[in-house]
Structure 1
Amino acid sequence: MKKFIQHRGIVRHTGGGRIVVCIEQQSACSACHARSACLASDKKEKLIEVKGESRQFAPGEEVMVVAQSSSGMQAVALAFAVPFVLVVAAVFIGARLSGGDDGIGGLAGLAVLAVYYALLYAFREKIGQRFSFSVAKLEAGSQLDTAAY
């Protein structure tokens, strides 16, 4: 059974077979009624570019952005888990090869991290093809339209 991640968003731009949707990323406490008192609330706007039939959507229209939850896990792995393992391994290997110099180990970890993120950036188009988003119109009753793009 496939599970999906859904976020409400507002269409910012359309055209060229692409739809740019702005979603609000909120921490769990940002919807709390006491958020102004505790200063722990966090709210950010994210722009998501979705390939699809842009003529069916208009700027300012509220839509639902949908992605498979497995895509979210892959993104977390690429952004956090893989670099963590690489940095830890590089620090230990660098320190071991330098005769116990922690500075060399630290520099090795930073170098590996820089190379890893440079490779992610260089292959961003290819990696982006693995993460597919779709956009669905919201009906008056806030139910998803059956046709997602």
Structure 2
Amino acid sequence: MGEIISHNGVVSRVEANTVTVCVQQKSACAGCHAVGYCSSADCKDRYITVTGASPDIHVGDEVILEGHSAMGRLAVFLSFVLPLILLILLLVLTLSMLGLSEGMGTLISLGGMGVYYLILRLFNGKLSRRLVFTIRKNNQ
């Protein structure tokens, strides 16, 4: 079915059937020996909500989140690739075929992006059923 991608995290919240996990996202240079002296090293906390987790998971537990690589590719396609294609397509359409000015073409293209992300938001429930992480305790 594809390669499994896993991330280590710490449980930050447990509710009825959902668990929120804090995953530290580090840049490639965050592990460098000069990280304390370099301003380009960054580290961000990402919170991922997992539904249907096992009942033996509690706040503060170290866990492993797993997902299929195809899920990541779909997320990148929907978030970056498709909007870029749509933006360029709308800009070319408004400038060459409709003969509008550059300013108007830009405004229409950006408005199209707003509509695209609104539609993406409306399909959030359907996407959340496809983009699913599984969770298990980290037994080190």
Residues 1:22 and 2:19 aligned together: no
Aligned to 1:9: 9
Identity %: 33
What letter corresponds to residue 77 of structure 2 in structure 1? A
TM-score using structure 2 length: 0.94
SS in structure 1 of the partner of residue 37 of structure 2: helix
Aligned to 2:102: 102
What is the deviation of 1:111?
0.9
Q: C-alpha distance in 2, partners of 1:67/1:17?
A: 19
TM-score using structure 1 length: 0.88
Aligned to 1:49: 49
| 1:89-119 Cα deviation digits (max 9, x unpaired) | 0011111244251112111110110000111
Identify which range, 78-87 or 128-137, moves more after superposition.
128-137
Give the alignment of 1:1-149 within 5 angstroms. Answer: 2-99=2-99, 101-139=101-139, 142=140
What letter corresponds to residue 41 of structure 2 in structure 1? S
**Gaps in structure 2 of 5+ consecutive residues:** none
Q: C-alpha distance in 2, partners of 1:59/1:75?
A: 28
Q: Structure with the greater relative contact order (CA < 8 A, sep ≥ 6): 1 or 2?
A: 2
Q: C-alpha distance in 1, partners of 2:99/2:12?
A: 55
Instruction: Please tell me whether the aligned partners of residues 18 and 52 of structure 2 are also in contact (alpha carbons under 8 angstroms).
Output: yes
RMSD: 1.3
SS in structure 1 of the partner of residue 130 of structure 2: coil
**Gaps in structure 1 of 5+ consecutive residues:** 143-149
Identify which range, 104-113 or 48-57, moves more after superposition.
48-57
Q: C-alpha distance in 2, partners of 1:110/1:84?
A: 11
Q: C-alpha distance in 1, partners of 2:136/2:60?
A: 14
